[in-house]
């Protein structure tokens, strides 16, 4: 397998994972129902109510589409389990190449599948395996370490960041994926996000700081965030936009389902090429 193709696939996987880490965090979970989407309450109260229900999140399925600074366009369909951590994502990153790929994270390993195109270059093996934990210890900054970082980071935490907005407002009622929702929007800076953490316990603060750092690493200092909240106070859709050092961030995630079993299996060993040692050398 050529160096160019290998790095290209790694970059595409990294782009998709960056999108998940950055914008995948706006799910509110709970069983309380109201008569209409988002209820008739002040915008801050409605957004906070959805954000406060994130702790019960165990799994979700979603679609995402948008752009990531430095990596370009990304689109994907995915399912993710929080405990135990597992993820399966079918994705494409057109600006990194024409190939469609599948990414699986299971049992600490990241598997990137390229289908028939990959098999032609890897002696019939269509999957590449990255050892996330080993690469993290080696100081790597790859797609594998990005996925590993999710292990203790509930992706729903980022929904709390919009509550720090000083200009949060209700846009109106909209239908998203056949579901009636209430649309809210506001802008928030990284400093405002950090201020929200002052009264949190140490564990929560540490976990939520990871989400803020993702924006910081992209050079995004201010975000426009939109949330579409349904009648059960779930966030049905979330959009994050901002200007980074290497371009614009504009990512929309639409949530399909919540708290249903997500089963992710590692590909058959005969179809996997383990590149852990080689990738450690590339990181060096």
Question: What digits encode the pLDDT tens for the residues 213-253?
Answer: 878 888 889 999 999 999 988 888 888 899 988 889 998 88
Q: Which string of DSSP letters, residue by residue, matches 112-177?
A: EE-HHHHHHHTTT--EEEEEHHHHHHTT--SHHHHHHGGGG--GGGGGGGGGG-SS-EEEEEEEET
pLDDT value at residue 37: 45
66-70, 140-144, 174-178: the lowest-pLDDT one: 140-144
Average pLDDT for residues 143-157, to the nearest whole number? 44
- Residue 151: pLDDT band with limits 50, 70, 90: very low
pLDDT for 99 beyond 90:
no
| Residues sharing a CB contact under 8 Å with residue 124, sequence separation 6 or more, in sequence order | 271
pLDDT value at residue 181: 95
CATH, range 3-283: 2.50.20.20
**Which pLDDT tens digit goes with each residue over 115-141?**
776 666 777 788 888 766 655 554 444
Q: Provide the pairing of β-strand 127-131 with 272-274.
A: parallel
- Residue 211: pLDDT band with limits 50, 70, 90: confident
pLDDT value at residue 35: 39
Beta bridge partners of 241: 224, 250
Rounded distance, CA 190 to CA 235, Å?
A: 22
pLDDT value at residue 135: 52
Mean pLDDT of the chain: 74
- Residue 180: pLDDT band with limits 50, 70, 90: very high
If one compares 205 and 15, the residue with the highest pLDDT of the two is 205
pLDDT value at residue 147: 42
The answer to whether the CB of 260 falls within 8 A of the CB of 76 is: no
pLDDT value at residue 179: 94
Ranges of each domain in the chain: 3-283
The answer to whether the CB of 20 falls within 8 A of the CB of 64 is: yes
The structure's pTM equals 0.75
If one compares 3 and 217, the residue with the highest pLDDT of the two is 217
């Amino acid at each position: 397998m050529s160096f160019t193709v290998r790095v290209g696939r790694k970059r595409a996987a990294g782009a998709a994972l960056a999108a998940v880490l950055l914008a995948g965090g706006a799910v509110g979970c709970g069983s309380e129902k109201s008569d209409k989407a988002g209820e008739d309450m002040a915008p801050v109260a409605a957004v906070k109510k959805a954000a406060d229900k994130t702790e019960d999140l165990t799994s979700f399925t979603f679609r995402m589409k948008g752009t990531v600074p430095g990596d370009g366009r990304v689109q994907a369909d995915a399912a993710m389990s929080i405990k135990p951590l597992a993820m399966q994502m079918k994705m494409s990153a057109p600006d990194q190449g024409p190939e469609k790929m599948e990414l699986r994270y299971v049992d600490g390993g990241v598997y990137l599948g390229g289908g028939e195109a990959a098999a032609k270059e890897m002696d019939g093996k269509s999957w590449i395996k990255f050892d996330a934990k080993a690469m993290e210890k080696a100081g790597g900054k790859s797609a594998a370490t990005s996925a590993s970082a999710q292990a203790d980071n509930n992706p729903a935490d980022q929904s709390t960041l919009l509550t720090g907005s000083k200009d949060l407002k209700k846009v109106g009622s909209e239908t998203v994926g056949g579901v009636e929702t209430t649309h809210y929007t506001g802008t928030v800076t990284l400093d405002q996000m950090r201020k929200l953490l002052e009264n949190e316990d140490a564990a929560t603060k540490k976990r939520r700081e990871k989400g803020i750092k993702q924006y910081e690493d992209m050079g995004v200092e201010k975000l426009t965030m939109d949330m579409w909240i349904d009648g059960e106070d779930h966030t049905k859709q979330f959009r994050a936009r901002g200007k980074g050092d290497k371009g614009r961030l504009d990512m929309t995630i639409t949530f399909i389902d919540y708290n249903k079993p997500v089963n992710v299996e590692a590909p058959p060993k005969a179809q996997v090429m383990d590149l852990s040692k080689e990738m450690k050398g590339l990181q060096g």
